[in-house]
Amino acid sequence: MKYLLDRVDEQILCALKANARASHAELSGKVNLSRNAVRVRIERLEREGFIKGYTIVTGDGGDRGPLTTALMFVYRHDRMRGGEVIQALRAIPEVVACDVMTGDFDLLVRVESPQADRIRQIWQSISELPGVRDTLTAFALSSVIRK
> How do residues 1-16 score in pLDDT, each as one tens digit?
567 889 999 999 888 8
- DSSP of 12-44, one letter per residue? HHHHHHH-TT--HHHHHHHHT--HHHHHHHHHH
Give the whole-angstrom CA distance, residue 44 versus residue 73: 35
Output the pLDDT for position 55. Answer: 65
> How do residues 54-108 score in pLDDT, each as one tens digit?
765 555 545 555 789 999 999 988 777 768 888 999 999 999 999 999 888 899 9
Could you tell me the CA-to-CA distances from 76 to 22, 68, 99, 102, 120 in Å, in that order? 42, 25, 13, 12, 19
> How do residues 99-134 score in pLDDT, each as one tens digit?
999 888 899 999 999 888 999 999 999 999 998 999
| Rounded average pLDDT over 32-38 | 93
With a cut of 90, say whether residue 36 has pLDDT above it: yes
Output the pLDDT for position 63. Answer: 53
